[in-house]
């Protein structure tokens, strides 16, 4: 493929130009890698010393200058898992409808338009919606449940589009074989299509989970409080959550210098949690693709 | 799958009302009062193992709003309730009851390297309205003044507006920070900045400025000579009863809550 | 017969669920407008959009959001100027130049970059970037338009890059081969054949990246500085729409003037992102 220049000056110029431009492209790619490395490295370097067993398992103490972030971890896990528990069934059912039933009908076009636009709604608008609908209109108050439901709406598009992708990957002849054996469409979907598509859907579920866990603006007015050290025992109680805790530590508190190690520590835990989930999803998807390639 | 959804929703519906009865005191409001209530709250929960508190700090207006909407039982505020807020609360059947818990002084602060030490109320007003824009005019170096203010919806801002600004408006070029901590952060990192914070937020990354020749401190705030002092309040729905009364008594106890008020850096009330 | 009925029931049930996304989008729109439109009882439409005094808690309050809109547009522009070249060039490197092994490393890196929680990016901007801007560039304050734009670029590069990459990857091999066969270098092929062929996909990518920047909240709340002014240069602080909403909504009394005003800001923001998304969809349709 390589066009190595002829002898004329012009072609040498062209080859030089290509080399120059390609290094610009390489530089651009390098900047991305550097950016990720710098942020992660910075947080690892500053955050690791703060990570102790106590930090992970204790409540904040002494006006947040000591103790740990256990209630925030618990809150974030509840919020994200709860959102997934609501959004995953809804998302998968939507995807099944879009891919298995609706085909290219006009209805499905509207639904897809809805999904696409829902994906583009800014998180702060989800927050406003959650506040006026779930918190006030549905009278849930600032609570775990209101946060879960708002986050569920937020992560719905991710789950739908990955689930649809997974369904599309299921070979048509699998379905045909099932029909040929006399199964109805719903039996085929439950017995054949969903199991085949499940690992792919799982990728979407993890991505949705990670999105919900890292989100701040949505839960700010729907689910979180500044300080509530008790374990969460009810869906109608507000919780502490890692991203909001991070925000609070970084912008308020009487003694920001004293909470600095805790800020780094919290940022690192949040980063590891969210990035870990994403990495998991990426590895899972990679495996699937390789398996499919192998068949 | 439908069964799963149905079970989940049913679960929510069945368990929700049962849990709603679990008693927890929700405290919401001013970020100025927040550190006091957090510290006192921690001690209160240690002293009363059965009790549980949840504290959020959205701002004074937010706390009073939450009280009148029934979203919290205690509102923290760094200013008195407004007539409009009282009317709104009463329209919802809530009767805000005011409890003063501490004194606070607002203190203008600059970066420790800034040579300026003294300022007058009039000069402060001119800085914040954008009339004075260079430190030279105040005897400092030749540098632009970076004006840092609290968010226009905070109680701290409203106190500042009332005492310092009178009828003039804070210039829109002022940087609006969402909390006392953010102001500390911004001023301590910027040699050209001026900001104002609650007394409790002073630390050695900042330098406090004297106003009209008076040094901000517990005495000057209590005897009324410090020009920018205010009381900090809790509001409850009617006179506090039961668990709430226990909490409020704890806060006002000179050996318990008031001691923490001093620890945090605010000024305890004279009994 | 009962089986057919059951099938029909399932079909219907799934259709209803599938409509939930549309329903939520509708509900979001409805609530935004229901809570936002009443602000025009207090302020005229023209004043609301073109006036430059945002004093929501003064007495009487003033709700004029022009500086907030300008703030949002400005941070988005700065972010785009950084993120679009970076994203598109990276995508071009991945599809046109990089060996397969390197591409396999870079792809997950980009995806992980997309996954950075916004509050962590904001924290990084506050702690690391702001002091640098103050000390090295002598900015009055490190929390400003440029800082916010830089951090937003960070967050929109992955979107721009991965969608552009799909578009570039989709350009038929035969096109490239034809260009090379005519004696063009690989760079000339990339610049004059592949990128133009993928233009609509790249356009979609840029639109979606911009939509992400304008709607991002935590970053602008933490690093944009928060002054409600029309910026005169790149180191001025700004108060973009999402930051104003996030900072003030907790304080606004329920269904008061300020509350309605903030929902109206949310409405404007929503329309902005909707417009970006619609343009993106229109551009991507054109390809087909």
Q: Is the pLDDT of residue A105 over 90?
A: no
Q: Do A68 and A176 belong together in one domain?
A: yes
C131 lies in the same domain as C71: yes
Q: Tell me the pLDDT tens digit for each residue of C252-278.
A: 777 888 899 999 999 999 999 999 998
C10 and C85 together in one domain: no
- Looking up residue B120, the CATH number of its domain turns out to be 3.40.190.10
* Closest-approach residue (CA) in chain A for C23: A114
Q: What is the pLDDT of residues A137-161, one digit of tens each?
A: 898 888 999 999 999 999 999 999 9
How far does the CA of residue B195 sit from the closest CA of chain C (Å)?
13
How close A50 gets to chain B, by Cα (Å)?
21
Tell me the residue range of the domain where B147 lies.
Answer: 104-222
Are residues A191 and A234 located together in one domain of the fold? yes
Nearest to A28 among C90, C120, C180 (CB): C90
Whether the predicted model's global pTM rises above the 0.90 cut: no
Rounded distance between C-alpha atoms, residue B230 and residue B138, angstroms? 27
Number of folded domains that form chain B? 2
Q: Which of A180-184, C6-10, C33-37 has the highest mean pLDDT?
A: C33-37
User: What pLDDT sits at residue B15?
Assistant: 45
Q: What is the pLDDT of residues C60-80, one digit of tens each?
A: 888 999 999 999 999 999 999
Which pLDDT tens digit goes with each residue over A217-270? 999 989 888 888 777 778 888 899 999 999 888 876 656 677 888 899 999 999
Query: Across residues C32-52, what is the average pLDDT?
Result: 92
A14 and A125 both lie in a single domain: no
Predicted-complex ipTM score: 0.91
Domain around A140: 53-291
In this predicted structure, which of A208-212, B5-9, C116-120 has the lowest mean pLDDT?
A: B5-9
Q: Are residue B134 and residue B209 in the same domain, yes or no?
A: yes
Please tell me whether residues B217 and B150 are part of one structural domain.
yes
Taking a contact as any Cβ pair under 8 Å apart, which residues of chain A between 247 and 276 contact chain C?
A: 247, 250-251, 263, 267, 270-271, 274-275
What pLDDT score was predicted for residue B10?
47
Distance CA A226, CA A276 (A): 26
Are C146 and C236 in the same domain?
yes
In this structure, are C7 and C86 located in the same domain? no
- Whether C253 sits inside 8 A of B190 (CB atoms) is no
- Is residue C148 pLDDT above 90, yes or no? yes
Q: Is the pLDDT of residue B99 over 90?
A: yes
Give CA–CA dist C64/A264, Å, rounded: 38
* B12: pLDDT strictly greater than 80: no
Are C13 and C139 in a shared domain? no
Q: Is residue A13 located within the same domain as residue A61?
A: no
Q: Contact B54/A237, CB-based, under 8 Å?
A: yes
A271 shares a domain with A180: yes
Q: Which of A26, A43, A93 sits opposite C14 (nearest CB)?
A: A93
Q: B110 and B218: one domain? A: yes
Q: Are residues B127 and B149 in the same domain?
A: yes
The per-residue pLDDT for C225 is 82
Number of domains in chain C: 2
Q: Assess contact for B140 and B194: CB atoms under 8 A.
A: no
Could you read off the pLDDT of B133-162 as tens digits, one per residue? 999 998 888 988 989 988 776 778 888 888
Same domain (yes/no): C188, C202: yes
Domain match, A252 and A119 both? yes
pLDDT on residue B271: 59
* Residue C25 shares a structural domain with residue C128: no
Q: Are residues A39 and A149 in the same domain?
A: no
Rounded CA-CA distance A34/C6 in Å is 56
In angstroms, rounded to a whole number, what is the distance separating the alpha carbons of residues A126 and A113?
18
Residues A275 and A172 in one domain: yes
Domain identity same for B127 and B185? yes
Q: Are residues C122 and C183 in the same domain?
A: yes
Give residues 173 to 232 of B whose Cβ lies within 8 Å of C: 173-178, 185-186, 189-190, 192-193
Q: Please choose, from the candidates B46, B197, B151, B32, the residue with its C-alpha nearest in 3D space to the C-alpha of residue B102.
A: B32
Do A202 and A238 share a domain, yes or no?
yes
Q: How many CB atoms lie within 10 A of CB B140?
A: 17
Q: Which of A1, A116, A122 lies closest to C215 in CB terms?
A: A122
Looking at the structure, tell me whether residues A58 and A108 fall in a common domain: yes
SS3 for chain C is CHHHHHHHHHHHHHHHHHHHHHHHHHHHHHHHHHHHHHHHHCCCHHHHHHCCCEECCCCCCEECCHHHHHHHHHHHHHHHHHHHHHHHHHHHHHHHHCCHHHHHHHHHHHHHHHHCCHHHHHHHHHHHHHHHHHHHCCCCCCCCHHHHHHHHHHHHHHHHHHHHHHHHHCCCHHHHHHHHHCCCCHHHHHHHHHHHHCHHHHHHHHHHHHHHHHHCCHHHHHHCECCCCCCCCCCCCECCHHHHHHHHCCCCCCCCHHHHHHHHHHHHHHHHHHHHHHHHHHHHHHHC
Residue C128 and residue C254 in one domain: yes
> Are C109 and C160 members of one domain?
yes
Number of C-beta neighbours around residue A192 at 10 A: 18
- Domain identity same for B10 and B118: no
> Which residues in chain C are closer than 8 Å to B173, comparing Cβ atoms?
227, 229
Mean pLDDT score across all residues of chain A:
87
Instruction: Find the CATH number of the domain harbouring A279.
Output: 1.10.3720.10
Query: How far, in Å, CA of C39 to CA of C51, rounded?
Result: 14
Are A17 and A67 members of one domain? Answer: no
Q: Give residue A62's pLDDT.
A: 72
The residue from A31, A50, A69 where one domain ends is: A50
pLDDT at B18: 37
Mean pLDDT of B169-182: 79
Whether B262 has its CB under 8 Å from any CB of chain C: the answer is no
Which pLDDT score is estimated for C157?
93
pLDDT for position B16: 43
Count of structural domains, chain A: 2
Give the residue carrying structure tokens 């469409």.
Answer: A185
Q: How far is A4 from chain B (nearest CA, A)?
A: 55
What does the pLDDT read at residue B17? 39
The whole-number pLDDT of residue B229 equals 86
pLDDT of residue B19: 40
Query: C235: number of CA atoms within 13 Å, CB side?
Result: 15
DSSP H or E run through C113 = helix C100-115
| Residue-number span of the structural domain to which C27 is assigned | 3-41
């Amino acid at each position: 493929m390589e066009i190595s220049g002829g002898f004329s000056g012009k072609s040498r110029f062209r080859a030089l130009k290509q080399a120059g431009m390609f290094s610009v492209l390489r530089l651009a790619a390098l900047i991305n890698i550097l950016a990720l490395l710098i942020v992660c490295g910075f947080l690892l370097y500053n955050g690791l010393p703060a990570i102790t067993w106590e930090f992970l398992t204790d409540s904040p103490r002494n006006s947040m200058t000591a103790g740990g972030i256990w209630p925030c971890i618990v809150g974030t896990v509840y919020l994200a898992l709860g959102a997934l528990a609501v959004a995953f069934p809804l998302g998968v059912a939507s995807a099944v409808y879009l891919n298995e039933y609706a085909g290219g009908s006009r209805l499905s076009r509207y639904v897809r338009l809805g999904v696409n636009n829902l994906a583009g709604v800014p998180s702060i608008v989800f927050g406003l919606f959650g506040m006026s609908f779930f918190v006030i209109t549905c009278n849930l108050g600032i609570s775990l449940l209101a946060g879960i439901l708002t986050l569920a709406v937020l992560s719905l598009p991710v789950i739908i589009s990955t689930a649809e992708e997974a369904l599309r990957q299921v070979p048509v002849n699998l379905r045909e074989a099932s029909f040929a054996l006399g199964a109805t469409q719903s039996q085929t979907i439950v017995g054949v299509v969903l199991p085949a598509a499940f690992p792919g859907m799982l990728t979407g579920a993890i991505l949705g989970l990670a999105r919900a866990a890292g989100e701040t603006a949505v839960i700010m007015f729907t689910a979180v409080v500044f300080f509530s050290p008790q374990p969460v025992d009810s869906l109608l109680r507000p919780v502490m959550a890692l991203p909001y805790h991070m925000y609070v530590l970084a912008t308020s508190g009487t003694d920001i210098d004293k909470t600095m190690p805790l800020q780094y520590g919290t940022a690192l835990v949040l980063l590891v949690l969210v990035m870990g989930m994403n990495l998991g999803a990426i590895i899972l998807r990679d495996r699937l693709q390789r398996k499919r390639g192998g068949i | 799958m439908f069964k799963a959804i149905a079970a989940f929703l049913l679960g929510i519906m069945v368990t929700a009302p049962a849990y709603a009865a679990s008693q927890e005191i929700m405290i919401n409001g001013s970020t100025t009062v927040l550190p006091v209530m957090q510290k006192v709250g921690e001690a209160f929960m240690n002293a009363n193992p059965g009790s549980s508190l949840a504290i959020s700090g959205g701002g004074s207006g937010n706390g009073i709003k939450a009280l009148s909407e029934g979203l919290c039982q205690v509102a923290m505020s760094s200013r008195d309730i407004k007539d409009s807020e009282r009317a709104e609360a009463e329209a919802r059947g809530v009767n805000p009851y005011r409890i003063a818990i501490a004194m606070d002084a607002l203190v203008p602060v600059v970066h420790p390297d800034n040579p300026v030490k003294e300022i007058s109320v009039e000069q402060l007003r001119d800085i914040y309205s954008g009339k004075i824009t260079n430190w030279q005019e105040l005897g400092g170096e030749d540098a632009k003044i970076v004006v840092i203010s609290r968010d226009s919806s905070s109680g701290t801002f409203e106190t500042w507006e009332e005492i310092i600004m009178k009828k003039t408006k804070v210039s829109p070029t002022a940087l609006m920070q969402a909390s006392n901590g953010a102001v500390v952060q911004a001023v301590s990192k910027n040699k050209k900045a001026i900001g104002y914070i609650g007394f409790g937020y002073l630390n050695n990354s900042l330098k406090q400025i004297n106003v009209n020749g008076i040094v901000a401190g517990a005495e000057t705030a209590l005897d009324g000579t410090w020009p920018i002092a205010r009381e900090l309040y809790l509001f409850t729905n009617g006179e506090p009863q039961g668990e709430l009364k226990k909490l409020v008594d704890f806060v006002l106890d000179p050996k318990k809550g008031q001691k923490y008020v001093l620890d945090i850096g605010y000024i305890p009330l004279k009994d | 017969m009962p089986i057919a009925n059951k099938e029909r029931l399932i079909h219907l049930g799934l259709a209803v669920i599938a409509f939930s996304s549309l329903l939520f989008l509708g509900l979001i729109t409805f609530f935004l407008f229901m809570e936002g439109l009443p602000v025009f009882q207090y302020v005229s439409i023209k004043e609301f959009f073109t006036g430059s005094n945002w004093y929501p808690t003064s007495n009487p309050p003033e709700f004029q959001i022009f500086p907030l809109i300008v703030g949002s547009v400005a941070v988005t522009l700065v972010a785009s100027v950084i993120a679009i070249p970076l994203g598109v060039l990276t995508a071009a490197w991945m599809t046109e130049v990089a060996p397969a092994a390197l591409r396999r490393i870079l792809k997950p890196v980009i995806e992980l970059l997309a996954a950075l929680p916004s509050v962590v990016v904001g924290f990084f901007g506050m702690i690391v970037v702001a002091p640098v801007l103050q000390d090295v560039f002598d900015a009055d304050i490190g929390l400003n338009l440029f800082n916010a734009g830089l951090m937003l670029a960070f967050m929109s590069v992955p979107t721009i890059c991965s969608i552009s990459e799909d578009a570039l990857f989709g350009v038929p091999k035969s096109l490239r081969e034809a260009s090379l066969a005519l004696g063009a270098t690989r760079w000339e092929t990339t610049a004059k054949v592949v990128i133009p062929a993928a233009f609509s996909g790249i356009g979609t990518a840029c639109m979606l990246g911009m939509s992400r920047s304008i709607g991002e909240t935590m970053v602008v709340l933490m690093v944009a500085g928060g002054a409600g002014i029309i910026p005169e240069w790149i180191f001025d602080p700004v108060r973009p729409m999402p930051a104003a909403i996030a900072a003030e909504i907790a304080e606004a009394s329920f269904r008061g003037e300020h509350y309605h005003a903030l929902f109206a800001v949310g409405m404007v923001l929503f329309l902005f992102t909707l417009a970006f998304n619609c343009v993106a969809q229109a551009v991507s349709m054109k390809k087909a």
